[in-house]
């Protein structure tokens, strides 16, 4: 059988470790097991795995310390870590994400849920690494095949976006629709095609940071509490951290970082004001709000296009760039624009 990936499973309870190992092996993964934090750390440093499934409550060296040391070592700092734990406390989850974990699976877990999350993070990490390699390689050949380079980057970026959206069926297609509207607004503003191309790419991955938000929060049917919302708000910074090392010919990472900033300074994460925000980020902000309000979410039904357009109209110059809002309104009300399905 061809192995689907190299995984390190860590749990101090033999029965739990065997169950986790057997599930992964049956699915075709190559699995190394470690029954303590120290053994896990030694194994990972000698031969870095593609993914670590890590228990938290372990004697001597707990999962948090293992994760901290993995992230502090240049040979393992990029290895995705998923905590598999009975811990339900949101403060502990926040601590784990602060240390660099990409996800939590809560015990007792469902087999299918575990495998979906493992597959998602492995695919995402491979796509990201492959994207970096492709960008570096093709940038060297930019003068001879610029068109092919950019088409390839869009393909890879779109693949990453699809991997992220697979975790949340309620937002499937959101980034693609936002990119479509953002591009139309940018053309209405007569931005150069060079800038429009960068905006399109940024729009396609503007929610890439949500890969590190627990699926149960993304899909929660009720209202989020303050701590859960604070995790959601981190996605802009997380997206920036993921993208900043990739040498795009556009400020993709900055656009993603700023797409929740607002002209009156009430946005996040930096509280930027009018004149400090990239125009591409302001375009993306309007497109994001319109698509999100129009669409269904687990906590509410879609509010409809009229409500979404009224929101941006009422708050132009305050929460949204006035020129961007004007073009967006004209697209829908005068030019028969409609969001793709």
Average pLDDT over all residues of the chain: 87
Strands (E), the chain: 6-10, 30-34, 51-54, 81-85, 103-106
- Judged against a pLDDT cut of 60, whether residue 73 lies above it is answered with yes
- Judged against a pLDDT cut of 80, whether residue 134 lies above it is answered with no
- Judged against a pLDDT cut of 50, whether residue 1 lies above it is answered with no
Residue 237's pLDDT is 94
pLDDT per residue as tens digits for the range 5-51: 899 999 999 999 999 999 999 999 999 999 999 999 999 999 999 99
Q: Higher pLDDT residue, 163 or 89?
A: 89
Residue 227's pLDDT is 85
pLDDT per residue as tens digits for the range 287-328: 999 999 998 776 666 789 999 999 999 999 999 999 999 999
pLDDT per residue as tens digits for the range 249-274: 899 999 999 999 999 999 999 999 99
**CA distance linking residue 49 with residue 9, whole number of Å:** 10
- Judged against a pLDDT cut of 60, whether residue 145 lies above it is answered with no
Residue 165's pLDDT is 64
State what percent of residues in the chain have pLDDT above 70. Answer: 88
- CA neighbor of 20 nearest in space, from 129, 122, 105, 80: 105
Residue 127's pLDDT is 81
The single-letter DSSP state of residue 166 is T
User: What separation, in Å, do the N-terminal and C-terminal C-alpha atoms of the chain show?
Assistant: 39
């Amino acid at each position: 059988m061809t192995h689907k990936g190299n995984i390190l499973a860590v749990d101090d309870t033999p029965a739990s470790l065997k169950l986790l190992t057997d599930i992964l092996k049956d699915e075709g993964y190559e699995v190394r097991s470690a029954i303590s934090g120290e053994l896990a750390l030694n194994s990972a440093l000698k031969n870095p795995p593609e993914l670590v499934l890590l228990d938290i409550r372990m004697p001597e060296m707990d999962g948090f310390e293992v994760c901290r040391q993995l992230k502090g070592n240049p040979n393992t700092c990029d290895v995705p870590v998923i905590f598999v734990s009975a811990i339900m406390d949101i403060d502990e989850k926040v601590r784990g994400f602060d240390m660099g974990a990409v996800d939590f699976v809560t015990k007792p877990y469902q087999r299918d849920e575990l495998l979906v999350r493992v597959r998602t993070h492995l695919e995402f990490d491979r796509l990201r690494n492959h994207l970096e390699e492709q960008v570096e390689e093709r940038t060297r050949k930019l003068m001879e095949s610029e068109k092919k380079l950019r088409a390839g980057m869009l393909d890879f970026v779109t693949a990453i976006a699809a991997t992220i959206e697979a975790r949340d069926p309620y937002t499937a297609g959101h980034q693609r629709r936002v990119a479509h509207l953002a591009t139309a607004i940018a053309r209405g503003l007569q931005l150069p095609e060079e800038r429009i191309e960068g905006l399109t790419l940024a729009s396609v991955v503007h929610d890439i940071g949500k890969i590190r938000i627990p699926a149960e929060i993304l899909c929660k049917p009720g209202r989020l509490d303050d701590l859960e919302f604070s995790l959601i708000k981190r996605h802009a910074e997380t997206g920036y951290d993921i993208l900043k090392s990739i040498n795009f010919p556009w400020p993709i990472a900055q656009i993603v970082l700023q797409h929740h900033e607002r002209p009156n300074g009430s946005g996040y994460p930096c509280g930027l004001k009018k004149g400090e925000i990239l125009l591409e980020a302001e375009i993306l902000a309007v497109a994001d709000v319109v698509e999100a309000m129009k669409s269904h979410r687990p906590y509410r039904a879609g509010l409809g296009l009229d409500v979404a357009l009224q929101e941006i109209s009422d708050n132009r110059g305050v929460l949204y760039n006035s020129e961007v809002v004007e073009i967006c309104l004209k697209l829908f009300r005068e030019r028969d624009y409609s969001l793709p399905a």
